[in-house]
Every structure is written in structure tokens, then in C-alpha cells.
């Protein structure tokens, strides 16, 4: 059998490969892995992080969409004895079948980092921690506080589910090819208990989406434009002591929770 050579990077698939072993070490340290634990890696690429994860954890599931890289990694299986290499789109892969307690560690493909984040957060009962490399701009949105333009649906939904820290920025020089955007590593520690039932969470998500759908408008007008009945919304806001003239970006996560509970 001929050994596939290292395929050239495909920009469309967000292939900016880490080349700095020090960054790999810092990512793995943040993940606090145990020698019998399970890890999910999305986008193993050429395997620099996968090899370190393989040494630090008991089992790694590594999902790579590019069949060329999957074939390349298969030739390195001897160095990755406890890694299950899966060739699939991470957005379609049934992460709900992974063992409870799986830690997610990944240098994400940036072009789908937001839908991937929502998908992982949906299954957060399974994932106690995630250590993720993202665009710096997405990292800022994850940790954003009310009042600024970074604060939006992702901030509210992620902070509702997890305690999030932006751990460190990563220079473009640490990748080949170099990405056009700045990068950062974030750690999400899932909250043991969230306050809403599954049904109330659906209400929260719809509410937050509708509230931010028209960022420049007041909360009430944005919700009205998204099909909410004006009267009950205004009454509820009054009861919660939230001025109807406020805009969505000024509401704290707690205020969104109170509003979702009241409107459910």
C-alpha cells in the first residue's frame, strides 16, 4: 500500500495547522485530561494536537471531514493507538452517542465555529469541559458582557450554559498557512445545573434570538417585529422592572432568564 503524502491545505475547510508545540501543550494542560478519560477532537488535521491528546487521555474520537487528511492520519495510526479516526462532517456526526464526561478539545475550523459551538452546547450534559481555539472575535463574543456590540445571542446562550474564560491569544505565526484573523483559546466549564427546563430553554433561545434580531430597536419593538404580542411583553417587562425602552444588548443573562421564565 502506498503511503499518502501530506496533502496541501484546503483554505475552504479552514485548514490552518498549528505548528507550535508550546501552544499544543498549553491547550492540553487547560483541558485537565485524565489517563482514562474520553476526548472529542474536531478537525485533527495533520494530527499535532491529536498526538498530544492521545498521550494525555484514555481514548480520543477525532472527526475529520477531509478524506485526504483522514487517509494521512490513518498511516500514523501506530502513533495514535487509542484514537478512533472518523471521516465525517462534525456538524452531522452524532455527538450524542459519545460517552458522558467526554472533554472536547479542538482547534476548530473557523468557518463553522459558531454552529459547532451551538451544537456542542446543545449536548453539554455530556461534555463537562471544552477547550477550543477560535477566532479571537468569536472568543470575545463568548465572554462579552452587556452593553457592547460583541454581546449577542452567542454570549447569552453560552454564558447561560457555561463559565467561560478566554485563556490566551494565539499569534498567526503559530499556524501554517497563517490565518487572516487573530485566534484565541477559550475554556468552557459547563455549569452543573442550569435553571431552566428543556421547554423553558427553547423559550429562552427563541426570545434571545428575537430580541437581538433588530439590535438598533428597543427590546419591545424587536420582539414585536418577530411576532411577539406587544401587550403581554410590556406587562411582563413592567413586572420584572425592565424598562421597555431598553435594547437587547443592555439585558443581563439573568434578566433574559427571568423574562423567558415569565413568558413561557
Residues that bind ligand SAM (CB under 6 A): 13-18, 42-46, 48-49, 63-66, 69, 89-91, 107, 109, 112
* For ligand SAM, the closer CB: 136 or 226: 136
List of residues 6+ apart from 163 with CB closer than 8 A: 188, 189, 191
Name which of 236, 206, 238, 235 is nearest 222 in CA terms.
206
Q: Give dist(CA 249, CA 264) in Å, integer.
A: 21
Q: Locate the DSSP E strands across the chain.
A: 17-18, 38-42, 59-64, 83-87, 103-107, 129-135, 162-170, 175-176, 183-190
Pick between residue 6 and residue 243 the one whose CB is nearest to ligand SAM.
6
Of 43 and 128, the one with the shorter C-beta distance to ligand SAM is 43
C-beta of 13 vs 196, nearer to ligand SAM: 13
Shortest distance, position 22 Cβ to ligand SAM, whole Å = 13
CB of 212 to ligand SAM, least distance (A): 26
Residue nearest ligand SAM (C-beta atom):
43
Give the integer Cα–Cα distance in Å for 228 and 217.
14
Q: Which is nearer to ligand SAM, 66 or 255 (CB)?
A: 66
Q: How far apart are CA 260 and CA 264, in angstroms?
A: 6
CB of 177 to ligand SAM, least distance (A): 10
Query: Whole-number minimum distance, CB 179 to ligand SAM, in Å?
Result: 8
How near is the Cβ of 118 to ligand SAM at its closest, in Å?
14
Determine whether 231 is exposed, middle or buried from the number of CB atoms within 10 Å of its CB (0-12, 13-18, 19+): exposed
Amino acid at each position: 500500500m502506498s503511503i499518502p503524502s501530506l496533502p496541501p491545505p484546503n483554505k475552504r475547510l479552514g485548514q490552518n495547522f498549528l505548528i507550535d508545540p508550546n501552544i499544543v501543550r498549553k491547550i492540553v494542560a487547560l483541558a485537565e485530561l485524565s489517563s482514562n478519560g474520553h476526548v472529542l477532537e474536531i478537525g485533527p488535521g495533520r494530527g499535532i494536537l491529536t498526538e498530544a491528546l492521545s498521550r494525555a487521555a484514555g481514548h480520543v474520537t477525532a472527526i475529520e471531514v477531509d478524506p485526504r487528511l483522514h487517509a494521512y492520519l490513518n498511516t500514523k495510526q501506530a502513533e495514535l493507538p487509542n484514537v478512533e479516526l472518523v471521516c465525517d462532517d462534525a456538524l452531522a456526526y452524532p455527538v450524542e452517542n459519545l460517552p458522558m464526561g467526554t472533554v472536547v478539545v479542538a482547534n476548530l475550523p473557523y468557518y463553522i465555529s459558531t454552529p459547532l459551538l451551538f451544537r456542542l452546547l446543545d449536548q453539554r450534559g455530556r461534555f463537562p469541559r471544552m477547550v477550543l481555539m477560535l477566532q479571537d472575535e468569536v472568543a470575545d463574543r463568548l465572554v462579552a458582557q452587556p452593553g457592547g456590540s460583541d454581546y449577542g445571542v452567542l454570549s447569552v446562550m453560552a454564558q447561560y450554559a457555561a463559565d467561560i474564560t478566554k485563556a490566551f491569544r494565539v499569534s498567526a505565526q503559530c499556524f501554517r498557512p497563517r490565518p487572516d484573523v487573530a485566534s484565541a483559546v477559550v475554556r468552557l466549564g459547563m455549569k452543573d445545573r442550569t435553571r431552566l427546563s428543556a421547554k423553558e430553554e427553547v423559550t429562552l433561545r427563541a426570545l434571545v434570538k428575537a430580541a437581538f434580531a433588530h439590535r438598533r430597536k428597543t427590546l419591545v419593538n424587536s420582539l414585536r417585529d418577530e411576532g411577539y404580542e406587544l401587550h403581554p411583553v410590556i406587562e411582563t417587562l413592567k413586572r420584572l422592572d425592565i424598562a421597555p425602552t431598553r435594547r437587547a444588548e443592555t439585558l443581563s443573562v439573568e434578566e433574559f432568564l427571568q423574562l423567558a421564565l415569565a413568558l413561557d
